[in-house]
Structure 1
């Protein structure tokens, strides 16, 4: 009787195929960065932003103490202070554009965002971006004068971005990091639109955008108190996909493996470096019927996700400051005030951004032109393209990943070394999804890249 060989499908363990000298598995720097963000710093910054009274896009731009103008100048000065502490390592500047004739901006109005760029030492034209929205609003989206504290929506995201700059500016990375306080979100996502357009115009290779919009609330309107989970929203198929690319995707897959979706998987894996935090990946561009500042980047084909709290409280979003009694006689307090922000939780979500940004900026560029072969074969072959040596002086090699088609996360991997192709023997292409990640000498990894146009993070 012939001895039966266990059906491997795509369940082969990684350890059985280890090749060459593996890069380090332990990442002590990332563990330290996952504990570094300060809740006290975030609280101080949220209180400062709330103190400007309103940050509505159409509010006062002249006052030194109230309105969007005072708020953005303070953010600019804060980034400048952070840069001074790291010896001028940040390029701090405004990004602006004029808007008029829009439903929420009759205009003309200059929409002004603030960015700080930490240039990479090896591959400075490769960028990872963290953003928060500087503006705020009350019930009437056109009310530019009433008090609109915007403590959680979205002073928390801006404060987290500032704190990430404080933490990461103490380090040096191969790729560049951008910290952005984007304006005009509530009036039509204009700050993100202008920055995305500038990135395209300047030829930035944008590897990732992490948009942080509400990262401080832990008590949901559903009655759940959750301070240990973050949500990451990511779109599936790229909106920029061509008809030819859509046809290829129909036959080879990729609906679940856009670069934004694999960026979300990467962030979820990096949560292991943040104490007491897990990530809920949500396979949707944003909350149902709603939007955020990552979308303008997705619109231009860039990998971009939304990072936020898991349980929202709608009485604290887009509301006039007031107290009412509901039909059941219960007292309900409305308004996005500072007592609704859990600063320790905001620090954890900031840490999630910090470790993801650090991991990607320290890693080599994601592999380009990833291709896959293996129809009517017992084996699966993956091929890809290395970057120019000057762009990846820290490259150790590549790791291939695979998973069952119904699994949400990459579950199996194999280190294959510094090569541009590998064959997975007796792993059938039909049963799994596959991808490739670049690995640095210190163990840092890029996000996993799914083969073909559906999964591409772009070229070199």
Structure 2
């Protein structure tokens, strides 16, 4: 019996020593990435700027100016793209009426998000992935609804990324569903994102990941004058906001303070983004958003969904929330001329390859467990197959406890693995791998006794 056990363990070790491999690009995703066009992105932003202002409180009756005209234009673009989707892309403006709050909303407001849903091809696959940008913008005074506010970068850049991803991806098929959305009310307090996130939570939908894009098209900073178009930041939280009190004891006991679902998504975004987008480093920032600030991913995080914010590496504060003007030789205002469209192309491609890889992959493996029935210097993991998707096998991911990123991947076609690495010294996770090599999000194992 001891001899048989030794042979089994030896076989596992040998199998997973030779199973480490270089992960290649999916040809279809690689082609989609090549289709991202700086010219298309420029045309989107140029049109959005031409609406004069997109302040959430601005006119909704003028056909050429204000948030109402901008929303109709985005809806028309989604409808245009839908013609090449074989009926799978459907778009509408999702509205709600809000009362004045005495702060950033001073009158009754019809709030509207422009939502386009690309239905997945597998009816059994209930996963939904979301890419978001905010259509509204502001001048120095957030209640100024009449003055010009170009909003080219904040957040014309994020909305342009949403539109370009929709244009390209609607021509392809994905197992899971993808939602492309430009929200309103961000500058008024994330109103559109809260409306959408709360609604999705109430409907008990399986929102597996949210990529929020906000201020992602400029390459230089104010004050420090740093120019950088080869890095982009991804903000994510480590401790889960949702049900933290309920899970705090387990998190502390297992040392998982750096392994919330949003942090796992950020690691995934980095790995996949750098796999497909050349000359772009994804820099993970260990906080939910910039210091004491917030973005449209936050309402999703607060509802228990994995969500991250994608933002340019160095922000220029002479252009954010500023009336267009020139003072002391400095140009203020968020105008088109300040956008680096090659940089925006790369950041848009970062979104696209992640959405595509996630949506093509099988669902996450179920019931991932780490066996702790006895002490030892090996780690025994087991799991169940995902609910949907054709599975080629599984990646077991491993990293040292001090490492920010997963350092090794082991492949197995089985539903369990014994690794010659101590669970005392490493963190582990399991991904399902599809027939074309697309990986699901990783799942941290629970304890099995």
Q: TM-score normalised to the size of structure 1? A: 0.90
Does the 8 Å contact 1:89/1:118 carry over to 2?
yes
Greater RCO (Cα-Cα under 8 Å, separation 6 or more): 1
Match of 1:137 in 2: 138
Given the alignment of the two structures, is residue 274 of structure 1 paired with residue 259 of structure 2, yes or no? no
Q: CA deviation at 1:15?
A: 6.0
Measure, in 1, the Cα distance between the counterparts of 2:163 and 2:15.
39
Match of 1:236 in 2: 238
Does the 8 Å contact 2:16/2:412 carry over to 1?
no
Q: Tell me the SS of whatever aligns to 2:35.
A: coil
Measure, in 2, the Cα distance between the counterparts of 1:201 and 1:137.
30
Match of 1:385 in 2: 384
TM-aligned CA distance change 1:181 to 1:244, over 3 Å: closer
TM-aligned CA distance change 1:223 to 1:243, over 3 Å: same
Matches of residues 88-99 of structure 1 in structure 2 within 5 Å? 88-99=87-98
Measure, in 1, the Cα distance between the counterparts of 2:14 and 2:216.
37
Q: CA deviation at 1:96?
A: 2.1
Measure, in 2, the Cα distance between the counterparts of 1:196 and 1:310.
27
Q: 5+ unaligned residues in a row in structure 2: which ranges?
A: 1-12
Q: CA deviation at 1:261?
A: 0.6
Q: TM-score normalised to the size of structure 2? A: 0.92
Q: CA deviation at 1:211?
A: 0.2
Q: CA deviation at 1:372?
A: 1.9
The number of equivalent residue pairs is 430
- Which 4+ runs in 1 deviate beyond 3 A? 12-15, 22-26
Q: Tell me the SS of whatever aligns to 1:196.
A: helix
User: What per-residue deviation string (whole Å, max 9, x for no partner) do you get for residues 75-105 of structure 1?
Assistant: 0000000001223320101222222242211
Matches of residues 42-441 of structure 1 in structure 2 within 5 Å? 42-102=41-101, 103-122=103-122, 123-221=124-222, 222-271=224-273, 272-325=275-328, 331-374=329-372, 376-388=375-387, 391-392=388-389, 394-419=390-415, 421-424=416-419, 426-441=420-435
TM-aligned CA distance change 1:23 to 1:97, over 3 Å: farther
Q: CA deviation at 1:16?
A: 1.3
Q: Tell me the SS of whatever aligns to 1:35.
A: helix
Q: CA deviation at 1:450?
A: 1.7
Q: Tell me the SS of whatever aligns to 2:185.
A: coil
Q: 5+ unaligned residues in a row in structure 1: which ranges?
A: 1-11, 326-330, 454-460
Q: CA deviation at 1:379?
A: 1.5
TM-aligned CA distance change 1:381 to 1:39, over 3 Å: same
Measure, in 2, the Cα distance between the counterparts of 1:101 and 1:176.
35
Measure, in 2, the Cα distance between the counterparts of 1:214 and 1:13.
48
Measure, in 1, the Cα distance between the counterparts of 2:364 and 2:30.
22
Does the 8 Å contact 2:100/2:109 carry over to 1?
no
Does the 8 Å contact 1:23/1:443 carry over to 2?
no
Q: Tell me the SS of whatever aligns to 2:74.
A: helix
